[in-house]
Amino acid sequence: MKIKTIATSGIIAALYVAVSLLIAPFAFGAVQFRIAEMFNHLVVFNKKFFFGIVLGVIITNMFSPMAAYDLIFGVAHTVISLLITIFAAKFIKGQVKQMVFNTIVFTFMTFIIAFELNLAFDLPFFYTWLTVAVGEFVVLAVGIPLMSALNKRLNFKSLI
């Protein structure tokens, strides 16, 4: 792995952690709006962003009130969802369409988080899936135009 990729991954991870912890009360639990989830769209621009995003999720989840669960289920949710998006990107033309697909994948896959919350707190699975999915969908949907605009300014593909 190149030094530039490692450095960029570290910066992405640090930004993910900083943004998540800034709004920590809303980043964990059955109703969550983890604004840093917008960074998940970075894999649409370059799959090498995968490492920084996953590292950011791991570090952020260490600060979670349920770190033991979040380090397993939260990281699994991110890894699986990102890998699905990376694989599917070969068949979906256009970055906006890929980000829409990414939003749908991450939203659907929140059943993993719902299962975690069901195990940890005995919360109702389907209701929790709905509440977590709504938060994930809103953050990622808002992230599409934001990441598109940032990409025009920063050219994400060339950053890593």
- Residue 160 pLDDT class (50, 70, 90 cuts): confident
* CA-CA-CA-CA dihedral for 40, 104, 107, 126, to nearest 10: -170
Place of tokens 């991954």: 9
The residue type at 11: I
Share of the chain above pLDDT 70, in %: 99
Whose structure tokens read 């930004």? 15
Q: Residue 94: pLDDT band by 50, 70, 90 thresholds?
A: very high
CA distance 63 to 21: 8
CA distance 40 to 12: 10
Coil vs helix vs strand at 81: helix
Neighbours of 149 (CB within 10 A): 10
Q: Which residues have C-beta within 8 Å of that of residue 112, sequence separation ≥ 6?
A: 73, 76, 77, 80
Q: How would residue 159 be classed by pLDDT, with cut points 50, 70 and 90?
A: confident
Q: Is the pTM of this model over 0.75?
A: yes
For the chain, give every domain's residue range.
3-159
CATH 1.10.3470: does it fit domain 3-159? no
Q: Looking at residues 38-64, what average pLDDT do you find? A: 97
Kindly tell me if the per-residue pLDDT of 86 is higher than 80.
yes
| Mean pLDDT in residue range 86-92 | 97
Q: Are 52 and 10 in contact (CB under 8 A)?
A: yes
25 pLDDT above the threshold of 80: no
**pLDDT per residue over 118-142, tens digit each?**
999 999 999 999 999 999 999 999 9
Question: What pLDDT, on a 0 to 100 scale, did the predictor assign at position 74?
Answer: 96
